[in-house]
Structure 1
């Protein structure tokens, strides 16, 4: 008897069996990317290799760029650039999310994201390069442009990014005797009236206070109106001389979802609580790309696109697939949100586990303890603890790897948002 073919798309937080299509050979733990950008953690700490995790899975190095739902075939672009088609009986979509952008002049060319390992490495190189170039230049205007950094997005990602990178530049300034540390300025912008509202008013204010005490200019109710190579114009008409724009203003489901000719909710694929796609037999979706009903809440709520839910949904999906193959019923996903932790570097953190509020060192212990539990391998946990301790004892060497090129990498370059096919084109290639 021919074996059932199960194809998994995406290698984020979801466990996979049989065949996994992913452009990267690691399972990226996104919450710690800001610490990679700041040099606190090495890339290996947050990206355990899939071949260490998956021993009976065929890993296909590429990305699904189109799906022919009718004939149950996928179009895969391999990392070599070649295109191949794969048939499936069950297709599990976990392509994750990409940085959400807006129709703001210059944003697509000037903004850098914090969604991939390559983006974190790129941002680190870019920030250190600005310090190097500012120390070498004699033009005061150019120096001001290179030493002002703008982060947009007052959620978890943006707050941790600005906190970690400001600690990087403040520490690095001591190694640059020709630089005035007071010229290094960080700006955090968010169009919302509050910083991280999901934390609650008190902890949100505490996080904002910590950032401001370090010298970060936090501007709420403000965003970017126009981005240019050497300056950023804000919606309140201020103009910031800056060559660094880091964009963390939310996420959007992978563009693959928009090619499927299926119902979506705010860009995420509509699914049932057991991850099945209505009217599409053999098709499942979960994680950031799926609007999974949150059965712990009322009013049609869906699970937020967080690592916490994605990892648990992956395990539940595996159990449901096994049940399907054995003729047993699938069960709905139900999981209570454990809360939010925000590591601001050093002994600063805020945390809200199970509704209880913490700040300072207790919150830092909770935050790092949660991350250690979430990392999937002992090796990753050991590397992370070692990196934290080594950084605390010796600091950073502010090494620039030369990752920058003459042509700056855009969000589209880093996150491959332009790679996907329409249903019609996918059918042509799989015919």
Structure 2
């Protein structure tokens, strides 16, 4: 008898945790497990600001899938369409070859992309912090601005190169602004021609509070730390227009700047749009057991799924965080095993373990199990949490060693030349134009049936 085919889409926190648990709970004879992922690693997303600041190398946060998984087949590519009626997933391999992969059970964990708005100039000039390539690119770009500012005699050009704008007052934006501001401040010692008074970082968000999930006290504390460092934090403000050398805020201010880092939220992967499924604010609607009710054998989780938050109730859905994604991955695996063995499925219920925000150096704010912490103790908790959350000892060692090296030797200010001659956009890094329409998915499915 042929083994059931389990196809896991996505190698992030949700997909990797699901595949790992399936390997542990299922015998090799019970199912064939396949993972679809465009890269050979799970990106440890919370530490991207450290990569952008050069505290960590890109390889440190790229956790090898082949070290984490032992008998799961890995297809190097991205899912670009799903036909749940035919039980087929359309995959574009990294060679651009398009194949149709049949399945018996499907786990959708394609993650999210950067959420953008129809703001003039945004798509041409914004840089994101969602992928490893983006973090490496942002680092090169920021250091190049210092180099170019030091090399020019044009005061207007110099002013625009030394002002940086980060949009988004959540964890990603706050940590990015904090880590990069710390890097550029340390770099000024190496640029004697630059006036420190011209250097300025702006962190803006349309929300009235910075990281409201932290609570009033810790959010205020984080904002105080940033402002004491010289970061200008503006709340209730967004971007009205982005130009080559200026950024216009919605309060009318025009900032001379050639750097806009956009971290204003996420949207579900466009893959969800290829299914005829009910959605909640763009995320596919699932039951508390992580099942997609319209389709047999389909589970969805992570950033792309609207998973009911039973701990909060009142129709709330779980926020798109790594903590939820990893735990949903394990629950999805448990429920998939239960489905294979004709056992009852269990709902996903998770009590929040707390939040950690690393502001670089000795600065941090943390709230583990509801206990508010700041400074060095918070920093130890934050970094300890990240090390525990990593899935391989190699990754833990690389990250820990890099932190120690940075603390002992300080920062470096090296440009690697990553896409040096090309102004890469969000679309370039996140491949948002790669997905099929529903009609194209059906065409691929029909071609598969005709072939067989």
The runs of 4+ residues in structure 1 deviating greater than 6 Å are none
Aligned position for 1:388: 403
Structure 2 CA distance, aligned partners of 1:181 and 1:349?
24
Aligned position for 1:129: 144
Of the three residues 364, 369, 372, the one matched with 1:349 is 364
Are 1:41 and 2:20 matched, yes or no?
no
TM-score when normalising by structure 1:
0.98
1:398 deviates by 1.3
Structure 2 CA distance, aligned partners of 1:305 and 1:185?
31
Structure 1 CA distance, aligned partners of 2:245 and 2:183?
22
- Contact 2:121/2:242 (<8 A) preserved: yes
Are 1:410 and 2:397 matched, yes or no?
no
Aligned position for 1:58: 73
Aligned position for 1:11: 11
Deviations 1:294-313 (CA, angstroms, capped at 9, x unpaired): 11122011111100011111
Alignment of 1:134-153 (within 5 A): 134-153=149-168
The residue matched to 2:13 in structure 1 has which SS? coil
Q: Which runs of 5+ in 1 are unaligned?
A: none
Aligned position for 1:379: 394
Are 1:201 and 2:216 matched, yes or no?
yes
Structure 1 CA distance, aligned partners of 2:368 and 2:420?
42
The residue matched to 1:314 in structure 2 has which SS? helix
Deviations 1:53-111 (CA, angstroms, capped at 9, x unpaired): 11101111110111111101111111111111111111110000111101111111111
Of the three residues 254, 258, 267, the one matched with 1:252 is 267
1:407 deviates by 2.6
The residue matched to 1:408 in structure 2 has which SS? coil
Aligned position for 1:175: 190
Are 1:76 and 2:91 matched, yes or no?
yes
- Contact 1:34/1:164 (<8 A) preserved: yes
Are 1:278 and 2:293 matched, yes or no?
yes
- Contact 2:274/2:437 (<8 A) preserved: yes
Structure 1 CA distance, aligned partners of 2:157 and 2:308?
50
Structure 1 CA distance, aligned partners of 2:210 and 2:332?
34
Aligned position for 2:178: 163
The residue matched to 1:420 in structure 2 has which SS? coil
TM-score when normalising by structure 2:
0.94
Aligned position for 2:247: 232
Structure 2 CA distance, aligned partners of 1:115 and 1:87?
30
Q: Which runs of 5+ in 2 are unaligned?
A: 23-32, 447-452
1:405 deviates by 3.6
1:406 deviates by 2.5
Aligned position for 1:269: 284
Alignment of 1:90-101 (within 5 A): 90-101=105-116
- Contact 2:162/2:257 (<8 A) preserved: yes
Structure 1 CA distance, aligned partners of 2:414 and 2:106?
42
Deviations 1:230-267 (CA, angstroms, capped at 9, x unpaired): 10111011000100000001111111112211000011
- Contact 1:126/1:404 (<8 A) preserved: no
Structure 1 CA distance, aligned partners of 2:205 and 2:254?
16
Of the three residues 226, 238, 247, the one matched with 1:223 is 238
Structure 2 CA distance, aligned partners of 1:407 and 1:390?
32
Structure 2 CA distance, aligned partners of 1:411 and 1:95?
17
